[in-house]
Amino acid sequence: MVKENRRSPRFKSSLPVTLLLRDNSSGVSLTDPLVGHLEDISAHGLRLSVPHIRIGNYHLFYTFTDNQRQTIYLEIRVADLSVPPVCIPARPVWFDHILSGTARPFQIGMEFLLPDDEQTRQLKEMFTQQACQRSWWHRLLGTAQSA
């Protein structure tokens, strides 16, 4: 089995995410929002699970890969409802169709377009703090949030 060489650790999650597809020149939404789930996050991007890969005439991977005219924004709301949701622009870098199970979701790897943006930093810090709050015993046994 080949070990993956990741640039940074990943932190597991199960937060809902709303995908907003927007035209960059006008800021207008291209479709209705799509709700998915954040599976994990790292310093460079995140992995999402969505029920389908197409929204109307748009394919989440092929339409938005290296496309300068349209962008996917990820609206992520943390469990604390007093904290406003973050809205982060991202670009898809891979996708896969999970055929096992009944839901048969798609998974999409997304790269942050603005990795040093205030909202992106805020989101990454939240997951890093959650992982650091885990006990040394959980980290030792491999049950920590880092995956």
* pLDDT 10s digits, 4-25: 666 677 778 778 899 999 999 8
pLDDT digits (tens, 9 = 90+) for 82-135: 777 888 999 999 999 888 777 788 999 999 888 788 878 877 777 665 555 554
Strand partners, 40: 12, 47
The answer on pLDDT for 138 being more than 50 is no
Contact 92, 65 (CB under 8 A): yes
Whether 23 contacts 52, CB under 8 Å: no
Domains of the chain: 11-141 (2.40.10.220)
The model carries a pTM of 0.76
Contact 76, 25 (CB under 8 A): no
What's residue 91's pLDDT?
93
- Residues 30-59 pLDDT 10s: 999 999 999 988 888 889 999 999 988 899
